[in-house]
Structure 1
Amino acid sequence: MLSLLLQSPSRQAELEQSGHEPDGERHQGCPSVVTANLLLGGLVGLSEAWVRNIEVFLPGMMKILQDGREDVKMKILVVLGNVLGQLQKRKASSIAVQLVARLLPLFDSECSELREISICMFTHLLELVVWRDEKRMRKEVQRALVPLLFRMSDQTPSVAEASREALLGVSELLRWKTLQHLLKRERLWELGACLLKKSRSRTEEYLQQSLPYLQDPQNDVRLAAVRFITLQPLETDQDMSVRSLAAQTTLFLRSRPMQPRSRGILGVLCCCWP
């Protein structure tokens, strides 16, 4: 088929006028040269339309990323990746900042393929940012630190590795050398402590983000959440709101002893939390 599509325009015109097709195209399921060229032309035109009018399509695509089926979300991410690669970097950078927040809920999808694709897309968006958008992007990616930290414990190796690469990209954007060092040396057990030490002002936010992971379907992810929560004596934190939330979290966990998922977590919690 490739050789047929590469025939000269004069040969294609001759075939069209004569109404004949090469022998190779008479097989069932093979389109004619004219049909193939029309299809290719349509795809090129469609691709160009997406690139020219990305701002028009973007709200609809973001809505699909929020409410669509998982298979459709994956297709949208592939399309977005292709389109962004064809945009001028200044334009792609602005769109990248808008998209980042939409990807975070996909990190916890039940579909491992969607988890991986969304995390890889997140890393790709970091690479598109130009200096004028760096401040906005740094603010957005702060919310991805905890989810990516926990996804490094994902039972799907490709998801865990994609999460590590994404965290490395975030550390480079934030110019956070200690985090980069730990990731490159694979000293993963120190990452949670590093995160809390670096961003004490965000402790309450990190704790709030951690709570849903205590009910994650994957045991290793739940354990990662417990370890992170218990890294600091939060119940004696200087901030009243943090102390209160930590106390509520402890009560919440200890009040659910009959849930099979929570038994392992409770054992770890009782050992680690004073």
Structure 2
Amino acid sequence: MVLTGLNTLSKTPEMARKLAVLLPDILETLTDANANVKTKALVLFISVMGHMEREEANLISLSLAEKLLPLFDDECSRVRELSIRLFQDMMKTVVGRNKKKMLKTVQSVLLPLLLHTNEEIESVAKASRDTLHASAKFLGLRRLSSVAKTGQTPLIGECLITHRRSRVEEYLLQSLPYLKDPQATVREEAVRFIGLAARRQSILSQERLWHICDALLPLGKDTELSIRSLAAKTISVLTIEQSPTSRWSLRSLCCWL
């Protein structure tokens, strides 16, 4: 009820700026609240920060970014959409030292945003494409920014790996949880990206290879035939290319079959 009232008040620029003092406390509602409360809080942030001066908004941007990242994967599609769009708005407010501090945070959202561009819910997919484009621009990655605007995920994945080869293993680990995503389109893109990234990583430790294949194996029972087939192919390629002479590769494939 409080957030509903504040959202009504925030529609006027003068009142919205006065409400800015409440934003640090409202940040706390983004952690354990239900979807309805999170939605209202995000709408309030978008409204208030939209009326704030850039220097004012800059003061809360860093702490807000940390709270937004987990919401990208929220169960509620509306929360996902709003948090992703708010992240994009927030990047525009960052200046000075905070911009340097924000670089690492923005870098960490590239892979999640890529996978969310494949959402079945178009509003979330579009928010992800727009924010991925803005994030690449923020980081000065011109090629990635350009292909992100087109929404062609295969090109985006290739470009992401090319620009940040040192982060390929980090991207691999980031993508694993998305193999369990409720949406088949997201799961499929996660498998596709893992195959692409792992092949570009010239050498993976046996432990890391085990970890990746272990995450892929349950997809052998996925409801979608295309995902089952892609996961099997990915495991086969990884075990042959990464460990061509290992008997472990053969055992893994036998377990899969």
For the criterion TM > 0.5, the same-fold answer is yes
Aligned pair 1:268/2:230, yes or no? yes
Q: Deviations over 1:23-64 (max 9, x none)?
A: xxxxxxxxxxxxxxxx98xx999755422x24xx51x32221
Q: CA deviation at 1:162?
A: 0.8
Q: CA deviation at 1:225?
A: 0.3
Quick check: 82-91 or 217-226, which moved more?
A: 82-91
State which of 22, 32, 50 in structure 1 corresponds to 2:19. Answer: 50
Q: CA deviation at 1:196?
A: 1.5
Larger Rg: 1
Whether the 8 Å CA contact 1:109–1:115 is kept in 2: the answer is yes
Q: Deviations over 1:145-204 (max 9, x none)?
A: 111101100001111111100001101100101112212344332111211121122222
Q: 1:100 to 1:48 in 2, by over 3 A?
A: closer
Aligned pair 1:82/2:47, yes or no? yes
Distance in 1 separating the partners of 2:117 and 2:223: 20
Q: Which amino acid aligns with 1:67?
A: D
1:7 equivalent in structure 2: none
Whether the 8 Å CA contact 1:257–1:266 is kept in 2: the answer is yes
2:207 equivalent in structure 1: 244
Quick check: 167-176 or 190-199, which moved more?
A: 190-199
1:143 equivalent in structure 2: 108
Q: Which amino acid aligns with 2:212?
A: T
Percent identical:
34
Q: Deviations over 1:72-104 (max 9, x none)?
A: 011111112222233332231131122112112
Q: Which amino acid aligns with 2:84?
A: I
Whether the 8 Å CA contact 1:234–1:246 is kept in 2: the answer is no
1:11 equivalent in structure 2: none
> 1:214 aligns to what SS in structure 2?
helix
Q: Deviations over 1:100-130 (max 9, x none)?
A: 1211221222222111111111111111112
Distance in 1 separating the partners of 2:89 and 2:201: 40
Whether the 8 Å CA contact 2:116–2:124 is kept in 1: the answer is yes
1:180 equivalent in structure 2: 145
Structure 1: tracts of 5 or more residues without a match: 1-38
State which of 45, 49, 69 in structure 1 corresponds to 2:34. Answer: 69
Q: Deviations over 1:199-247 (max 9, x none)?
A: 122222211211110010000000010011000345963464xx53233
Structure 2: tracts of 5 or more residues without a match: 1-7, 238-257
Distance in 2 separating the partners of 1:177 and 1:231: 21
Q: Which amino acid aligns with 2:229?
A: G
Aligned pair 1:215/2:177, yes or no? no
Q: Which amino acid aligns with 2:233?
A: C
Length-normalised TM-score, structure 2: 0.78
Whether the 8 Å CA contact 1:149–1:167 is kept in 2: the answer is yes
Quick check: 161-170 or 95-104, which moved more?
A: 95-104
Distance in 1 separating the partners of 2:219 and 2:74: 26
Distance in 2 separating the partners of 1:108 and 1:203: 21
Distance in 2 separating the partners of 1:235 and 1:130: 35
Q: CA deviation at 1:261?
A: 4.4
Q: Which amino acid aligns with 2:42?
A: L
Whether the 8 Å CA contact 1:168–1:183 is kept in 2: the answer is yes
Distance in 2 separating the partners of 1:251 and 1:202: 21
Aligned pair 1:108/2:73, yes or no? yes
Q: CA deviation at 1:264?
A: 4.5
Q: Which amino acid aligns with 1:122?
A: F
Distance in 2 separating the partners of 1:183 and 1:233: 21
Length-normalised TM-score, structure 1: 0.74
Whether the 8 Å CA contact 1:215–1:261 is kept in 2: the answer is no
Distance in 2 separating the partners of 1:236 and 1:96: 34
